[in-house]
Structure 1
Amino acid sequence: MALLSIFKHALMISFFVFVMMLLVDFIDTASRKQMSDLIKGGQWRQYFLASFLGSTPGCLGAFMNVSLYVHGMISFGAIVGGMIATSGDEAFVMLTQFPGVALALFGLLFVAGLLCAWISDKFITRMGVIPCESCLEAHCEHCISSGDEAERIADIFRLTNLFENFRSLSFTRFLLLVLIASFLVLVALGIIGPSVWNWKRITFIVLCLGSLYIAIIVSEHYLHDHIWDHIIKRHLFQIFLWSFGALLFVHMGLAYWNLKAFIHAHMLWILVIGAILGIVPESGPHLIFVMMYAQGLIPFSVLFTASFVQDGHGMLPLLSYSIKDSLLIKAFNLVFGLTIGGGLLALGF
């Protein structure tokens, strides 16, 4: 019975993450050029927009920051701030578990990103380090959309798109529509998610309807490259496994081991471990800390530190262009995260 409950909880989290990633990717692709133009400008404009992009849930904002950085459009400090503000795919999970605290966390990470960006630029200049020496040209296949795709998305309200897509319905589109519609029915019946009609169930249904519309209207190129190959294949299955594993870990720890007493007796080490795990350029390990916070096992300071250092998949594109810069950014984030997080823990947060 407990395993079934954990499975349904993990399934709800994973599908919510999928829907949110789909909506964010769609909006981000539709406004890509405008966002790129906005980020060019003065130093503080770079800090503000890089941190803002990092604050957006998922890895797309971080990917865009990397693309801009390797093109020399933002400074080293700006990408440090952007990565600090980034919470990766775990941001969507936090929004499902504790939305109010999650929004406050994103706001604090955004402000921290601004301040640490300025400090990083000052420090890197005094060190005499020239960042991104090996980054000559950037390309992120999942972040840069073609002109044809942008034009297609600009015409999403044309009714002819509906008829064109259904006239030659592909198996991928059919399968995606069945999956979204099935989840919509399960949520509406209360089998998955809230068992009563409340704002959460209504929100899930509205988001499902929005994702259903996107799955119907977008082109085959967008459907395969952005939704199927990127979001579903690269993210969704891993998120489900990590969510299920994290929930099972917390459940087993509370049921068969005095996990709560152990954590409270070693809180400082838990904070340090959270920061060190944040170095790994992967979405997933941080979910353990998200679930522990949701269960009241760790304070906000530990969640803040783990979120501060980790950046989901955001660092992966930069690793292919400059390992030195990737290590520098992670080093700055680790030092800043441990300093600020340790201060919050000492203050009792």
Structure 2
Amino acid sequence: MIPLDLTAQGAVDIFLGSVRDGFVQVSAFVAVTVLIFGYLQYRTGGRVVRFLENNEHLQPLAGGLLGLTPGCGGAIVAMPLYIRGTISFGTVVATLAATAGDSAFVILALAPEAAVYAYVMAFVSGVLFGYAIDFWGLGVGRVDRAVERISRPMTDGGFATTSVAAGGPSVAGFEMDDGGHDHERNTSGFMAKFTHGVHVVWWAVALAGLTAGVLYLARGAPEVPFEYGPTFFGLFTVAGLVGTTLSFYLHFFGRRFIGEGDAGRIRETYTDAYDTFQHAAMETSMVTVWVIGAYLVYEYGVALLSIDIAALAAAAGVLAPLAGAALGLIPGCAPQIVFAGLYAEGAIPFSALVGNAISQDGDALFPLMAIDMKAAIIATIYTTIPAAIVGVAVHYFWPYAQFGFGVIG
């Protein structure tokens, strides 16, 4: 039941707000970054993936660079590579630890100096920790063996998993998508044409959402009322609601007709530029479903439990970076975006921002959760370790570091 202090109208507002904000604040940016990496894969004929396969010693470094890309697109690209067995588990952790997430856009816009320091620390600590995991074999297989000594083996919904660091792909039998379509799907006829039309409209809406998202950050991330007229607020609202609706259609229904959308796959090659756009749209639509779910859980949780993130983040002393690291355990970007806004307002110390920057996995964790829940859980726990260490170190050795306070009122 909805408590007395959360009315039915309030519940509806939270739902619509989450559906709208999730697409504009997250999915539109994810779409662009996934498209960029997909297009790079298309233009190079798959040489990027083959380079990673042939240079294992560079994988955590490459993962850190992917994660350092603002938004979650680069890190999202890396997750299927682990599932396929191309990169190591240490590379996954390095990628997630370095992931700037969509909160990076808030910090870059409102406190750019803080972004440089925080994300460089996240990159360095993530890469070092990733190499350590691969060197000492601290992958999923090692955790499984430890658990077996004290209880029944962990399960992840039926997949047999091992660590790449210990040898073998995370999910047995998972293969790289060769770019072909599933012939059992109805990829011709009216519904296929209709779905391709939806795909084209989806990109137009994504472009409108990206425009609204950039303007949103340029205006200092203000509260956005629901409007439907020819204004910035109207663009934000319409693009968000329509974009999420189209994303849900593409993910749950459209993939039956255009032969795309398998969660967590990366294509070896693309037939043409349109194929690249289509795959990016379907991948982003899958992420959107998870993002909206995370937004709803977070927003309703805050409302029902009366959670005050500002109060938690402003914890005194060494608890601040630990609170930031703990908040990063929550998948998705919703709480991290709020956290970034609080920093820009001067409500939390820099050490807390650093802890959160390292710990947060952004939306990149969702593709991994969809295929290998066990690896996702272990990876997000692992990223919290360097987050706590570095965050506490900043608190004690750089206590007066403050960047960007008072940027917004």
Shorter-chain TM-score: which interval?
0.5 to 0.7
Q: 2:332: which partner in 1?
A: 282
- Which residue of 55, 74, 78 maps to 2:91? 78
Q: Tell me the residue number matched to 1:334.
A: 384
Contact 1:40/1:74 (8 A) holds in 2: yes
**8 Å Cα contact 2:93/2:383 also seen in 1:** yes
Match in the other structure for 2:127: 114
User: Taking structure 2 as the reference length, what is the TM-score of the superposition?
Assistant: 0.55
Q: Which residue of 1 aligns with 2:171?
A: 135
- Where does residue 359 of structure 2 map in the other structure? 309
Distance 1:191 1:127 in 2: 40
Q: Given that residues 173 and 223 in structure 1 are in contact (C-alpha distance below 8 angstroms), is that contact kept between their aligned partners in structure 2? A: no
Q: Would you tell me which structure has more helix in proportion to its own residues?
A: 1
Residues 62 and 12 of structure 1, relative CA distance in 2, 3 Å threshold: closer
Change (3 A) 1:315 1:180: closer
Look up the SS of the partner of 2:101 in the other structure. Answer: coil
Amino acid at match of 1:30: Y
- Separation in 1 of the partners of 2:138 and 2:203? 50
Is it true that 1:65 corresponds to 2:78 in the alignment?
yes
Is residue 230 from structure 1 mapped to residue 284 from structure 2 by the alignment? yes
Paired position in structure 1 for 2:179: 146
1:71-116 per-residue CA deviation (whole Å, 9 max, x = no partner) reads 3322222221111111333233333333343244333222222211
- Which consecutive residues of structure 1, in runs of 5 or more, have no partner in the other structure? 1-10, 149-168, 196-216
Letter in 2 for 1:59: C
For residues 213 and 374 of structure 2, the distance between their equivalents in structure 1, rounded to whole angstroms, comes to 46
TM-score computed with the length of structure 1 as normaliser:
0.64
In the TM superposition, 1:176-255 aligns within 5 A as: 177=204, 180=207, 193=218, 219=274, 226-227=280-281, 230=284, 234=288, 238=292
- Report the secondary structure of 1:298's partner residue: coil
Seq. identity, %: 22
Structure 1 residue 35, shift from structure 2 partner: 2.5
The alpha carbon displacement at 1:50 in A equals 1.4
**Aligned-partner Cα distance in 2 for 1:333–1:240:** 19
The alpha-carbon deviation at position 68 of structure 1 amounts to: 1.9
Q: Of the candidates 31, 36, 55, which is equivalent to residue 27 of structure 1?
A: 36
Paired residues of 1:20 and 1:92 also in contact (CA < 8 A): no
What's the offset of the Cα at 1:30? 0.6
Compare 31-40 and 334-343 and name the one that shifted more. Answer: 31-40
User: In the comparison of the two structures, how many residue pairs are matched?
Assistant: 292
Q: Distance in 2 between matches of 1:92 and 1:104?
A: 15
Q: CA offsets per residue over residues 26-57 of structure 1, 9 Å max, x none?
A: 21111122321232234431121111112123
Q: Using the TM superposition, give the Cα deviation of residue 344 of structure 1 relative to its aligned residue in structure 2, in angstroms.
A: 0.7
For 2:318 and 2:388, how far apart are their aligned partners in 1? 10
Structure 2 partner of 1:298: 348
Please give the alpha-carbon distance, in whole angstroms, between the structure 1 residues aligned to 2:216 and 2:77. Answer: 38
